[in-house]
Amino acid sequence: MGICVGLQALFDGSQEDPDVPGLGLIPGQLKKFDASDKSVPHIGWNSARALDESQSLWGLRSNSKYYYVHSYAAPHEEGVLEKDGWTVARARYGNEDFIGAISKDNIFATQFHPEKSGTAGLRVISAFLNSQRLQPLPVNALAHSIQDGLTRRVIACLDVRTNDSGDLVVTKGDQYDVREKGAASGGAVRNLGKPVDMAKRYYEQGSDEVTFLNITSFRNCPLADTPMLEILRLTSETVFVPLTIGGGIRDTVDTDGTKVPALDVATMYFKSGADKVSIGSDAVLAAENYYASGRKLTGTTAIETISRAYGNQAVVISVDPRRVYVPSPDSTAHHVIQTAFPGPNGEQHCWYQCTIKGGREGRDMDVIQLITAVSAMGAGEILLNCIDKDGSNSGFDLELINDVKANTEIPVIASSGAGNPGHFEEVFERTSTDAALGAGMVSSPLFFFLHFW
């Protein structure tokens, strides 16, 4: 059984590196997705549909979705591999058909990740372990089918930090202030629950991914004993969707004075169960150096080293921009949009300034400059926050999202401002965002609604 690159290695070769041959068990070459009409990498939930939908190939069902994350794929031409005895489950991304799963004799491989595909993926693993290659589908599994193509994702975000008693809790802040208001609360850290328990609850409610943002530095413990590592290990035991970790992914110094590269920090998180790491402030600083050097890549930034080792799809850039209103486009050198929400003095234009240190410090860089730089470095996804919307519960900044989507080929996750399910519906209807993220929304009906919307 091969998974993701395990499937790709079975082919003759790939455009990713033409000089490296594959195993040649399956004839054909892998090709990179065309980015002219869609985001690349292909990240999210898609189908894997066999030609005979009355049969289940290794537990695959046409009314299920599976989690994919890749830039290269094996194109599917109906009948070509089938005439040699291969059974193929096809997937579609944009206008491109590719192989989602393939089987013959004792070989089975999936382009998707069954171990990150929830109940549907666990069914596939179980079928393989029990040698159930082909089986008739139950009647209820034939009752309806789903549309081919990528499903836009709903992501649960958990802000994790230590409270005043030293316990790790999930919290939520208004403009990054996570303490309760009012004399009765004593200014305690807002506590929404325990990280592992809440992650499991979101998974069971239908969240497509779970993101942990570590907003505590943990400066007083060795890196190998960072509490977030244990949270990831425990979460991975019961949560079978992708996990992202953000906070502290940078070159650092351990408590014993040892210098630890960002790649080693990321590796600890990956080995503990993370699928992606999110980089924030360090990405802005790296982008500043990129432009200062005349757009030269050093090969030493956290983005470059991690993406080179684990692939672009493993690196998410968390962007924290805020609006800066200007009287006219000519009054600034930055990328400007015309806004339907005038500034304090009636300004009709604004640009989005990148910030660092949790939004506390603005930099002379706009959001498009940052995304252009990190894309060149190897970032695979953008987590697009908005400081003006954070904690407002007023909905996403649709103008920002549409502008960024128009200026990048890599996937974008809309974040900041969600206060009710209608805001997710709105962002999916009025923008082409690839995913939307919500934090601090703990009621069960939310993700039940979104999962079926």
Distances in Å between the alpha carbon of 16 and those of 1, 312, 444, 451? 22, 12, 42, 34
- Taking Cα atoms as reference points, which of 405, 386, 404, 406 lies closest to residue 396? 386
- Residue 115 known to be catalytic: yes
Identify which of 410, 412, 420 has the alpha carbon closest to the alpha carbon of residue 450: 420
Q: What is the residue-wise DSSP string for 246-282?
A: ES--S-EE-TTS-EE-HHHHHHHHHHHT-SEEEE-HH
Nearest to 13 by CA among 25, 115, 4: 25
Query: 275, 320, 390, 397: which is the annotated catalytic residue?
Result: 320
Among candidate residues 407, 434, 382, the one with its CA nearest the CA of residue 68: 434
354 is annotated as an active-site residue: no
Question: Is 4 part of the annotated catalytic residue set?
Answer: yes
Structure tokens at 440: 């601090």
CA distances from 129 to 59, 124, 177, 200, 334 (A): 11, 9, 49, 25, 56
Contact 263, 252 (CB under 8 A): no
Task: Spot the catalytic one: 42, 70, 76, 113.
Answer: 113
Of 4, 350, 354, 386, the active-site residue reads 4
Q: Which of 42, 70, 157, 159 is catalytic?
A: 159
**Alpha-carbon gap, residue 419 to 211, rounded angstroms:** 18
Q: How far apart are CA 100 and CA 113, in angstroms?
A: 10
Other Cβ atoms less than 10 A from the Cβ of 303: the count is 28
Active-site position among 42, 70, 76, 115: 115
Catalytic residues: 4, 113, 115, 159, 320
